[in-house]
Structure 1
Amino acid sequence: MSWMRRWSWAVAMVVAIVITVGGLIVLESGRERIAREYETALDAKTAAGELDALTARLTSIVASARGYLLTREPGEIDTYEQAFMQAHVLAAHIEAYYIRIGDTHASARLARVVAGLDARKREIDAIIALARTGPLETARSQARDSAALATGDTQREGINDLLMSEEQRAQSALDASRTDQRISTLCVGAVSALNIILFVLLFRNLGTQLGVQSREQERLLHTQSELDRLVRERTRQLEALARHLQNVGEEEKTKLARELHDELGAILTATKIDVASAQRRLSGSDTVAAEKLARAQGHLDQGIALKRRIVEDMRPTVLAHFGLVTALRTLAEEAAQRNGWRLSLDLPEDDIRLDEALAIALFRVAQEALNNAAKYAHASRLGVALCISESDGPLEAGQASIELDIDDDGIGIAPADLDRARTHGLLGMRQRVAARGGTLDIGPGSHNSGTHVSVRMPVTSSPP
């Protein structure tokens, strides 16, 4: 049934076209029949008029012949001859009409009328000739006894029969044309009614389909809205989880750094003191043992330095005691010294009081960016900038934001590497920034070379 609903409009259109074409064919054939019937009626009316004129000519023949016998006026003879010629012309026209329509019976009857008319002329001509040469009374007496000069004769009866036949033919054609007109009108009405019904059904079906589509679209929109809501909810949960994991990680690093500093640092320092004391006592008596103790003391110094570097990486004391600006300056200077970079710093002169989590996030992003530059950039110059400004981007309007920019003149980073989640610690950087509601942009440097890292985060605590 579903395919019928889908294709019902096409079926309805095909049926409507078939009905319309069929109706046009019926109407065209009806029009042709009506035209033929009107033509038949017109020809019959014309033939009836000619038969009526033939009757008038027959009357004129008799009247002019009688007029000559009474007055012997030559003009009556001319009228008689002219009327007879016109009667023959009319009879020829009527004969051609009967031959054209194929009415052999009427044609035979007309032939008998014409033959009688010729016989009558011969008889009248004889009487007129007698009136010209013989006694007039004799011609008049013969005319009174002649059937040729009678008014109710066989020719008139035959012409009247033909006239009535043509009038009936004309009336029958007109009646048939009226019937065909009524049939054509009924066909037009039926075709129009069927098309109206089909289009009503079609539009009703289309309305039903549109309603179904509208409900389906509303359902899809509702589903999409629900999915969007779920995605937003899951995103918020993931951001909260990432923030929690970062906080837990920082707390664990702080705890581990404290344990390393307090316990391992104390052990290493006490061991160094004991080794130094033993070295001094053995320096004069056992030079070999003293040298080994000296090497051990050097290893202890390296261990203490390694411990200090690990502790600083896990929980930078300079960030905790002196703030973000000093920590960034120290971090950049040490990295530049280790890697031989020319350093360009654009940092505030005074420290900025920030939320601890925000300061740690910015410091970790800077730390990761400098590590990446040291490992992969092959740079000779490094720039670090930090400032606070009013937000005009994706952050809330009027909200203060802190911006950290780090750029180098190295080989840059390939666009494909930016889409790889685990490349150069970018995933951790993005998660830290996203967890604080900020933005992270990584791209080419100022002169289309090197790498530029731009971090922007909302400030939760205004500077003093």
Structure 2
Amino acid sequence: MSHVPPAAIPTILPEDVPPFADESPPPRAPEGIARRATRLNEWMRRYSWAVAMTVAIVITVGGLIILESGRMRIASEYEVALDAKGATAQLSLLAADIATLTADERGFALKADGAYRAHFRETAERVRRTLASLDGYYRRIGDDTALASFAQIRAAADDEIAQGAVRLTDPPADAAARASALALPPPDAGATLDAALSLLRLNEEQRAQHALDASRADQRISTLCVGALCALNIVLFILLFRNLGIQLDKQARVQKALITQQEELDQLVFARTRQLEALAWHLQSVSENEKTELARELHDELGSILTASKMDVAWVRGKLKDTEPAMAEKLARALGNLDQGIALKRRIIEDMRPTVLANFGLVTALRSLAEEAAQRNGWSVEFDLPGEDMKLGEAIEIALFRVAQETLTNAAKYAHARRIRVALTVDEENVSLSITDDGIGIRPQDLKRTQTHGLVGMRQRVSARGGRFEIERASPRGTAISVSMPRERSGDTRIGERIA
């Protein structure tokens, strides 16, 4: 037997085994049906309250219709019962009145008294009215059997009234006539009339009882229907409020999650804002340091070069003034160019690092800055400054000086002002700077556009120091800029030492 090494035996994985012919993946619902089912579930979840309210309204309206129809049937059945009871009472009254007619005839036969004749006529008239009312009632209800029986009763009553009227015309002349008048009617005629009246009364009583039973049944059916509809409405409202509770709970959870996310975003924005403020202050500090270093280099290196060059050119010009006048003139022109370069160097140094601020303080620097701007632009200046300079910290002084410098530059470019007012207020906690002009005033749309007139830089400088920057239209015209900053902040010693 040959030995086969393990490496030569192929490894068969499950996915390498082909499926049997009768094996097939489980059937899945078509995607269209699944999408429709998903849309239906979503629609039911979203509009289930509307469906429940619609069904509740339909059920309520249906219940009202059922109640109204039941009330109308019950009222109709009660009317039938009342009419039947009234007919029964009229039939009883008719039987009594017919008996009264017979009694009046016999009394008149015994004693020819006109009172019997008058009472007979009244009773006969009442019998006619009763017969007319009963005839109208039976014709209205359309009961042919009862109407035929009533016709016989009416004919018998009419015969009785007619015969009685004849008998009560003249009293009996002799004893035989009186005996004939007092004789009882035939037994068959009276029994037939009483039986017909009794039958009609029984029929009307049954009709009234049947109507009352039907009304009670309708009342029970109406009560059951209303109870079922109310129970269904209660179930629907329970489902509706349950669905609303689920939706409100879900909405509350979503709102809570949104509030949590909003708080996290607010914290993130606050942290990023603080970082940006720190970065902005760091960049401004670096910029001020670079300006300071550059100003020092310009003053020390370029200044010494320009001064030495001026001295050398002046010395050479002095030597060549008499012997080479043309060359001396060129050297004089070079001296003028060197003077312009030295002046330009001084102006650049003052713009980058004002020496008056470093040497004398913020009050003198603001006064010098405003006076120079007024001299260049033809303004009149009004000052409201402290009487003497004070040390407020290099960072605060630089920030306020740059704000004043940018404000006066913007006023010169855009305001077309004639008068400027500069005010500085210093107390134990805060230092406030206010600059107002009487120019055309900043436009309302520019108040919202913080990217104009260098407002972004001024806001960043002030906010980085924990201050407040405000700009608004002055009254009656012009622009007012006010800055308020705390005098001291822990950790602030020299500009550029604040690390983001």
Q: C-alpha offsets along residues 405-428 of structure 1, whole Å, 9 cap, x if unaligned?
A: 333445554444555555443332
User: Do the aligned partners of 1:326 and 1:351 also contact (CA within 8 Å) in 2?
Assistant: yes
Counterpart position of 2:23: none
- Is 1:437 aligned to residue 475 of structure 2? no
Secondary structure of 1:403's counterpart equals strand
Superposition pairs of residues 171-210 of structure 1, within 5 angstroms: 171-210=209-248
Hey, what does 1:223 align to over in structure 2?
Answer: 261
Deviation at 1:340, TM superposition (A): 4.7
Match among 149, 156, 160 for residue 109 of structure 1: 149
Q: Contact 1:59/1:151 (CA < 8 Å) preserved in 2?
A: no
Consecutive unaligned residues of structure 2, counting only runs of 5 or more, are: 1-40, 491-500
Task: Tell me which residue corresponds to 2:435.
Answer: 406
CA distance in 2, matches of 1:329, 1:128: 145
CA distance, structure 1, for counterparts of residue 134 and residue 362 of structure 2: 127
TM-score by length of 1: 0.81
Q: Is the 8 A contact 1:120 1:148 kept in 2?
A: no
**Do the aligned partners of residues 247 and 114 (structure 1) sit closer, same or farther apart at CA in structure 2, a change above 3 Å counting?**
closer
User: 2:251 aligns to what?
Assistant: 213
- 1:7 aligns with 47
SS of the residue 1:386 aligns to: strand
Contact map agreement 1:325 1:347 (CA 8 A) in 2:
yes
Secondary structure of the residue aligned to 2:288 is: helix
When structure 1 is superposed on structure 2, of 169-178 and 14-23 the one drifting more is 14-23
**Which amino acid letter does the alignment assign opposite residue 454 of structure 1?**
S
Q: Aligned partners of 1:309 and 1:38: how far apart in 2?
A: 116
- CA displacement 1:153-210 (0-9 Å, x = unmatched): 3322222222222221222122112222222222332333333333333333333333
Aligned to 2:10: none
What amino acid maps onto 2:343 in structure 1?
Answer: A
Structure 1 residues 10 and 421 mapped into 2: Cα distance closer, same or farther (>3 Å)? closer
CA contact 1:124–1:148 (8 Å) conserved in 2 = no
- Structure 2: how far apart are the matches of 1:154 and 1:275? 168
Q: Counterpart of 2:38? A: none
Deviates more, 1:359-368 or 1:52-61: 52-61
Q: State whether residues 430 and 440 of structure 1, in contact with CA within 8 Å, keep that contact through their aligned partners in structure 2.
A: yes
Q: CA deviation at 1:381?
A: 4.1
Q: Are 2:494 and 1:454 aligned?
A: no
Q: Tell me, in whole angstroms, the C-alpha distance in 1 between the residues paired with 2:178 and 2:444.
A: 141
The amino acid across from 1:274 in the alignment is: D
Work out whether residues 108 and 117 of structure 2, in 8 Å CA contact, stay in contact via their aligned partners in 1: no
Q: 1:350-396, CA deviations, whole angstroms, 9 ceiling, x for partnerless residues?
A: 22111211111112222223333444555554443322147xxxxxx
Question: TM-score if structure 2 supplies the norm length?
Answer: 0.76
3-state SS of the aligned residue for 1:224? helix
Kindly tell me: are residues 339 and 25 of structure 1, through their superposed partners in 2, closer, same or farther at Cα, counting changes over 3 Å? closer
Matches within 5 A, 1:6-405: 6-57=46-97, 59-60=99-100, 72-74=110-112, 78=117, 90-115=130-155, 132=172, 136=176, 148=186, 153-389=191-427, 400-405=429-434
Residue segments in structure 1 that go unaligned for 5+ positions in a row: 391-399
Residue 48 to residue 2, structure 1, CA distance change in 2 (3 Å): same
Q: 1:169 to 1:319 in 2, by over 3 A?
A: same
Structure 2 CA distance for aligned equivalents of residues 292 and 245 of structure 1 = 46
Deviation at 1:252, TM superposition (A): 0.7
Distance in 2 of aligned mates of 1:370 and 1:84: 126
Q: Using the alignment, how far apart are the partners of 1:122 and 1:297 within structure 2? A: 165
Secondary structure of residue in 2 paired with 1:153: helix
Q: Which amino acid aligns with 1:100?
A: R
Q: How far is the alpha carbon of 1:121 from its aligned partner?
A: 8.7
Shift of 1:89: 5.5
Select between 325-334 and 355-364 the one with higher mean Cα deviation. 325-334
Q: 1:240 to 1:180 in 2, by over 3 A?
A: same
After superposition, the C-alpha distances for 1:430-449 in whole angstroms (9 at most, x for unaligned) are: 22222222233344556524
Q: Deviations over 1:314-373 (max 9, x none)?
A: 122222232222222333344444445444333223221112111111122222233334
Distance 2:441 2:105 in 1: 134
Instruction: Report if aligned partners of 1:127, 1:143 keep a CA contact under 8 Å in 2.
Output: no
Map of 1:428 onto structure 2 = 457
CA distance 1:95–1:335, shift in 2 (3 Å): closer
Higher mean alpha-carbon deviation, 146-155 vs 218-227, is at 146-155
d(CA) in 1 for partners of 2:166, 2:473: 135
CA distance in 1, matches of 2:386, 2:168: 152
Letter paired with 1:435: A
Larger deviation: 290-299 or 60-69?
A: 60-69
C-alpha contact (below 8 Å) 2:440/2:477 kept by paired residues: no
2:484 is paired with a residue whose SS is strand
Q: Secondary structure at 2:477's aligned position in 1?
A: coil
Q: Which residue of 1 aligns with 2:5?
A: none
1:397 corresponds to = none
Aligned to 1:394: none
Structure 1, 202-211 or 57-66: larger mean CA deviation: 57-66
Residue 43 of structure 1: how far off its partner (Å): 2.3
Answer yes or no: is the 8 Å Cα contact 2:70–2:218 preserved in 1.
yes
Secondary structure in 1 aligned to 2:470?
strand
**RMSD in angstroms over aligned alpha carbons?**
3.8
Contact 1:354 1:461 in 2 (8 A): no
Please give the alpha-carbon distance, in whole angstroms, between the structure 2 residues aligned to 1:166 and 1:341: 119
Deviates more, 1:168-177 or 1:401-410: 401-410
How many angstroms does 1:87 deviate by? 5.5
Query: For residues 127 and 422 of structure 1, do their structure 2 counterparts lie closer, same or farther at Cα, with a shift above 3 Å needed?
Result: closer
Paired residue total: 447
1:67 Cα deviation (Å)? 7.3
CA contact (8 A) 1:65 1:80 kept: no
